[in-house]
Amino acid sequence: MEGLKKSNNMVKAVISPEKSTYLLPIPANYVGKKIEVLLYSIDELVETKEKLAKKPSDFFGSLNQKEGDKFHTYINQSRMEWDRNI
């Protein structure tokens, strides 16, 4: 297995299977326990991340009115400081 990573609680491996079946060795300390096996293509995962890009409109309603007003006041004060001569 290429890219095998182990810790006390996890085993992770990146593989490139050459057939539609793959024999997966299970560490002895995992035998008899419930384990989770995930299978996904790394290429597809990257493609999915690109589709999840957030738009400004996705954040509408994230702040309540009081927080929004406070934030807006801070931004306005910051902008006024840009215009002053130093």
What's the pLDDT score for residue 34?
92
What's the pLDDT score for residue 48?
54
Spell out the per-residue pLDDT of the chain, length 86, in tens: 555 566 667 888 889 999 999 898 888 888 999 999 888 888 876 655 566 778 888 888 888 889 989 999 999 988 888 877 76
Tally Cβ neighbours within 10 Å of residue 63.
13
- The rounded distance, in Å, linking the Cα atoms of 34 and 67 is 45
What's the pLDDT score for residue 60?
83
Q: Cα 71 to the chain's mean position, in Å?
A: 27
- Predicted TM-score (pTM) of this structure: 0.41
Which DSSP string do the residues of 41-73 spell out, in sequence order? Answer: -HHHHHHHHHHTPPPGGGGTTSS-HHHHHHHHH
Domain borders along the chain are: 5-83
What's the pLDDT score for residue 3?
58
Number of H helices, E strands in the chain: 2, 2
User: Which residues, 6+ apart, have CB-to-CB distance to 63 below 8 Å?
Assistant: 71
Rg for the chain (alpha carbons), in Å? 25
